Structure 1
Amino acid sequence: MSDNLYTIKVTEQAGFRLAHDPSKPRVWQMRLKSPNDGNHVAAITDRRETEQAQSTWCIGAHGCLLMVHLDVRAQGATYFISPPITSSHEVSSNLFNPQWLEAQGLIEGTAQGRAAAWFIRLKDEQLVLRHYRRGGLPARFSNDRFLWIGLRRSRPWRELSVLSRLHALGLPVPVPIAGRVQKKTVSYTADIITRRIPGARSLADFMLASYFGDTHDQNARDEVWRETGRVIRAFHAIGAHHADLNVRNILVDEQRKVWLIDWDRGRLNADAAIQNRSMARLRRSLSREAELETMARQGWPLLMSAYSRGP
């Protein structure tokens, strides 16, 4: 197999549907039938050809409101995926190599969990490299290999696509930088890079610091609970679904702005039932730590009141 580098560009558009409730616009997808349909991506990954592919997210009679691009570079069985707007640094294999980054003194810290993460500083830019890992029963067979069913259905492609749309809508998510997919016969491994949110810590850490005597007063804590509800409602208003909404995937920055991170398996066409289950998942995550549960007894009603009123 040749190691020559091939490049394609995928154009995706997104928009709103106002549906029954004008206060709840939703993103929905309509695939347009054209010579440049997104199915060409699969063909490119097999033939190693330079080509252009397109799929479209629209709103029917109202037309398309958003357009996002994903650039794909194929080198052998390795694919680099990136929105072309987000980083001043060239996307290369070195950016996905923790050993190389460590040797260059570019790693500022790490975080462990189901997805290992490395905090990187490149000149004036702070980035997060995350390696996709499996959870639950599948992890017993392989902790980081996924079944190959096409590049467009790979984990980094989907996450970068969702992040690009959410970022284009002005919602508080990390800026997407790049993804890497390494295919091997019927499986693949994957990584993603996003821009780090400066000075941010998880909602759990913010609340626990307050609980154990940090400088946050009661009014500040209450406002963060409310802001969290407003932010989640803003995502739900466009049909966005976070697949793992928990107290560790919500960040609070130094200005107490709330962000949602880790959009692996997220999507933009969720209905109210799915979103309600997501809220229940968040509530359960608070109950797993005694101190957080104590604070949530007062804070959760504030969050839900703000969520009900909307952004």
Structure 2
Amino acid sequence: MPEVIKISPNTILLKSDPTLPLSSAWFAPEFWQSQQALAGTGNGRGAVWFINSHFGQFVIRRYRRGGLIAKFNKSHFFFTGLKNTRPWLELSLLEYMCSIGLPVPRPIGGLYTLNKGFYRGELLTQTIENAQDLFDIIKTGNSTTVNWQEVGAVVKRFHNEGIYHSDLNCHNIMIDQNGKVWLIDFDKCEQRPQEERWKQENIDRLKRSLDKESNLHPQFNISNAQWRTFLEGYRG
């Protein structure tokens, strides 16, 4: 479980890596920019910043809302206790998955700040070095370089451990230069009892994401044979 450090009455630091001098400043992109360590930004389920520092390479993700509510409330969540916050839940799950050897980013820490019954949260994880997400690999015409059987086998490993990924899509599967397959972004994910229904829903969600990107990008192509190979890898 993450170590809980009270920075102020309204700011709680959650520490997963005891070897690093983690502070609340580490979750502020401005801090890293002042250190010439801010390497870039990105978008996903949250606002994302990439850090390249002498402590290591990290990713900061600020939790954001989706859907209609995001139009007037982008990043504040109702507070119902420390262990219900998104940073705590995701860090705890990442720590567990790391402990059993699943290929996920190494958790570093989290932060949340309370204000009038709501909180804003950030997560810090280690960067997966020399890796691209599946979307970029396919979009650049390199889908044939993907070991689709291995991708299926890795998804199966998570399912065998009861890990439900609430947003399994081609942006949250990464492959490094050695061909190792990783899953990222475990916000709103959890460990569940073994049921085929949610496992199939995960697979269906991934297929929908591939089909969606194929419709949006003419150069994004995955063949029926490649998808069958994925399923073969999943079924073992």
Question: Same-fold call, TM > 0.5?
Answer: yes
Q: CA deviation at 1:280?
A: 0.6
CA distance, structure 1, for counterparts of residue 225 and residue 91 of structure 2: 36
Higher strand share: 2
Of 274, 278, 286, the residue aligned with 2:198 is: 274
CA contact (8 A) 2:37 2:53 kept: yes
CA distance, structure 1, for counterparts of residue 125 and residue 15 of structure 2: 10
CA distance, structure 2, for counterparts of residue 137 and residue 156 of structure 1: 22
2:229 paired with 1:302: yes
Give 5+ residue unaligned stretches, structure 1: 1-68
Q: CA deviation at 1:264?
A: 0.4
SS in 1 for 2:185: coil
1:172-193 CA distances to partner (integer Å, 9 max, x unpaired)? 0000000001011211000000
CA contact (8 A) 1:286 1:292 kept: no
1:84-113 CA distances to partner (integer Å, 9 max, x unpaired)? 45xx42111110111121121111111124
SS in 2 for 1:288: helix
Of 284, 288, 293, the residue aligned with 2:208 is: 284
CA contact (8 A) 1:287 1:293 kept: no
CA contact (8 A) 2:77 2:119 kept: yes
CA distance, structure 2, for counterparts of residue 240 and residue 292 of structure 1: 32
CA contact (8 A) 1:204 1:292 kept: no
2:6 paired with 1:74: yes
Tell me which amino acid in the other structure corresponds to 1:302: T
Cα gap change, 1:292 to 1:165, in 2 (>3 Å):
farther
228-237 or 122-131, which moves further after superposition? Answer: 122-131
Q: CA deviation at 1:297?
A: 2.2
Tell me which amino acid in the other structure corresponds to 1:261: I
Cα gap change, 1:292 to 1:172, in 2 (>3 Å):
farther
285-294 or 102-111, which moves further after superposition? Answer: 285-294
Q: CA deviation at 1:276?
A: 1.0
| Counterpart position of 1:123 | 54
1:111-157 CA distances to partner (integer Å, 9 max, x unpaired)? 12441111112215110001100001221230100010111000000
Structure number with greater Rg is 1
| Counterpart position of 2:23 | 92
Give 5+ residue unaligned stretches, structure 2: none
CA contact (8 A) 1:83 1:177 kept: yes
CA distance, structure 1, for counterparts of residue 232 and residue 81 of structure 2: 42
Tell me which amino acid in the other structure corresponds to 2:4: V
* Relative contact order, higher structure (CA 8 A, sep 6+): 2
SS in 2 for 1:294: coil
CA distance, structure 2, for counterparts of residue 262 and residue 80 of structure 1: 20
Equivalent runs, 1:192-231 vs 2, <5 Å: 192-209=123-140, 211=141, 218=144, 220-221=145-146, 224-231=147-154
CA distance, structure 2, for counterparts of residue 81 and residue 268 of structure 1: 21
Tell me which amino acid in the other structure corresponds to 1:281: R
Q: CA deviation at 1:292?
A: 7.1
2:41 paired with 1:110: yes
| Counterpart position of 1:37 | none
CA contact (8 A) 1:134 1:144 kept: yes
Tell me which amino acid in the other structure corresponds to 1:73: I
SS in 2 for 1:263: coil
Q: CA deviation at 1:293?
A: 6.3
Give the aligned length: 231
CA distance, structure 2, for counterparts of residue 138 and residue 269 of structure 1: 27
Cα gap change, 1:269 to 1:292, in 2 (>3 Å):
farther
| Counterpart position of 2:84 | 153
SS in 2 for 1:207: helix
SS in 2 for 1:298: helix
CA distance, structure 2, for counterparts of residue 292 and residue 172 of structure 1: 29
CA distance, structure 2, for counterparts of residue 307 and residue 202 of structure 1: 19
